Amino acid sequence: MNTYDGLTNIWLNLKDLSKFPYNPDDCMAIDHLKCKKGYCLISRSVTYKNININTCLSLDLDKITSNNLHLFKNGDIILCKMPSWNNYVPGKIIKICKKIKDDEFVLCERTRNIMLETIDNIFDICFPSCPDSDICLVWHNGNEIIHNKTVLTYKNLLSSENNCETNFIKKKYKLKKPNAPFFVNEVDSDDEIIEDILHNVIDKIIKKYKPTSIIHSGLFDKKDTYKNEILRYKVYWLKINQNNNCLISSKPFNISHNTTSGKFLSNVSIINSSQINEIMKIQVTNGCGLKIINKRLYKLINKSRLLEPQNVKFLKKLPQQLYFFNKDFLYTYTGYLCNAAKRYLFNINKIDIK
């Protein structure tokens, strides 16, 4: 099974994208400003606590250490790669715990709250999307252009500029993960001296061969000059919490930067409608398909318009038999994917469009 890289956070249905009418010969010429309402898939945010700073880099690909930790503050965006991940993923620092003694710590940017634990310098980080994210089937219900905004850009650590050197390291020292330049195979690194040498070599290569290619991410945005703008999609889905309460959740997703460029950001993937349908069939098979919710009981009377059309004609086209239809109920396929549906999604090849 292909693993999820965590860098894609929205999968759009090809049939919902508008083709340029003046270019009928090119089926992949897409007007990204126009997208019909329809199902798409999104990743959900994940927050991890007590992440060792040794697994993190700045956006300039500098390793974060105790010597430069003072340069970072809550709200900063950094790159992080957990031991099981193949890629560095951007995340936002939400708390810093800095080591001041072997048995005492202070929380940065707070009152001097001493924690009597023996741990290293750590971050709490919120990832808007990462390899451990849950995936939701959602309903795309409109777009908007946000002015005076730009998206986060950062250097691609795994770009072709340093593949040659990284491949040399992997081959010589038998690194376990194919895209993890700082991951050392524990089986082959019992000797601490060899391990130290390996880390020193990797550090030198990263410093010498910092890649120049840039990733324009839709995961974060920031204020900018009036010249810049972001195309943002609005999506909605049914969320059932731990207390079995139902509510309609929503989230904006950045799709394109400087909308005149005619290109999607790197966080966007395009898949076929047949693949969306297959995912919905898998959901039905695993008891995660159509949900029928009492709108009055859960105070959703005025919110059903945010989801898929609430009518028999629309629902009959979908892969689950509907035995009755009542206007007092909300009908939706949206919600979290089961594991089988996620496995299917992560094995889908991205469609290249212009």
| Averaged pLDDT in 10-residue chunks for the chain of 354 residues | 81 86 64 88 95 92 90 94 90 87 49 45 94 96 90 70 38 39 42 61 53 75 84 94 86 85 84 94 95 92 93 91 88 96 90 64
Q: Are residues 56 and 82 in contact, defined by beta-carbon separation less than 8 angstroms?
A: no
pLDDT given at position 113: 41
Report how far residue 17's alpha carbon sits from residue 354's, in angstroms, rounded to the nearest whole number.
Answer: 12
Q: What is the pLDDT of residue 130?
A: 95
pLDDT of res. 152:
87
Measured CA to CA, the distance from residue 342 to residue 337 in angstroms comes to 6
Please enumerate in sequence order all residues whose Cβ is within 8 A of that of 194, keeping only pairs 6 or more positions apart, or say none: none
Type of residue numbered 69: L
pTM of the model: 0.79
Predicted local confidence at residue 172, as pLDDT = 39
The pLDDT value given to residue 322: 83
Q: What is the pLDDT of residue 175?
A: 39
Model pLDDT, residue 227: 81
pLDDT of 234 reads: 94
Interval 180-208: pLDDT, tens: 333 334 444 455 666 566 556 655 555 54
Residue spans of the domains in the chain: they are 10-43+217-346, 46-127, 160-210
In whole angstroms, how far apart are CA 248 and each of 232, 251, 259, 307, 334?
A: 19, 10, 29, 9, 10
